[in-house]
Amino acid sequence: MNYIRTGMLMAGLTALFGAVGYLLGGSGGMLMALGFAAVTNLFSYWNSDRLPLAAHNAHEVDESTAPELYGMVRDLAARANMPMPRVYLIDEDQPNAFATGRNPQNAAVAATTGIMRTLSYEELAGVMAHELAHIKNHDTLTMTITATMAGAISSLVTFGMMFGSRENRPNMIVQILLSILAPLAAMVIQMAISRSREYEADKLGGEIAGNPVWLADALAKIAGGVAQIPNETAEAKPATAHMFIINPLTGGGMDSLFSTHPDTGNRIAALMEQARAMGVGRNATGGGFMSQAGQSPWSGSGSGRKSGPWG
């Protein structure tokens, strides 16, 4: 299903490329745009584990540089029966995280320094489980292709308006409409796909962590942090907004056509219902995530801790 969805996404955005190219430069412009779309699709596929990380200046960490985070991801990946992804940190005060990569064998998870200061160990475990769920569901390929193509469509419109031949260039009104509607159409496709995958990743993430309440509590804290702390890099590159666990451009969003994420309250409610079905609560430890050493992840941090054990 994920491969079908990715194929439909690529086909839809490629068709949009062709339509924009035709309006800007006639049949010749359409062929050039379709060629550009093909190259963009291929490039984003093979570089899907690098592009978003580079865009947000993420740096890779290991067991010696970030032992708790790295160990957490390793143990959660083992619990999910999936390959260990690479682990990255982003020097950003806003609490947030995302996953990327074309498949589980070529994947990475990234967390901001802000999220590590904001969340408790168990809450961060819920977030990392959510990101691993995206990788396991092959959502990360769709996410990266969408971000790359949406940004490229905006660039195509700008390029065509600035450098297209006068004979083929549409009148000024059409150019203005294209500059608004073409990126908007790409964004609608991007958002419609990204919303459904968040609920799926929340559910699987709750199962991987063993307690959906941890992720529910994390989402509430992250949403509050996002509302108060801007992410300037994300603001400059909004095409990557849908990749984060909470939209970094806003404090939340309605379940509407123009939202990259489901409403946070609805996500929390779904997670709490899942926790009730699993028979776990906020203070439950039975069946929850345990490190490979057999230690509870909140050992020594105390339940109800208001900040993470990351310094």
Q: What is the three-class DSSP state of 48?
A: coil
- 272, two tokens: 């709490």
Check if 131 is active-site. Answer: yes
Which residue of the set 92, 123, 131, 198 is catalytic? 131
107 and 99 Cβ atoms separated by less than 8 Å? yes
DSSP string, 90-148: E--SS--EEEEEEETTEEEEEEEHHHHHHS-HHHHHHHHHHHHHHHHTTHHHHHHHHHH
- 285, two tokens: 């430890």
250 and 96 Cβ atoms separated by less than 8 Å? no
Q: What is the three-class DSSP state of 182?
A: helix
Amino acid identity of 71?
A: G
CA–CA gap between residue 239 and residue 184 (Å, rounded): 11
- Which residues face 107 on adjacent strands? 101
CA atoms within 13 A on the CB side of 139: 27
- Which residues face 86 on adjacent strands? 108
CA–CA gap between residue 177 and residue 215 (Å, rounded): 41
205 and 133 Cβ atoms separated by less than 8 Å? yes
Residues identified as active-site:
131
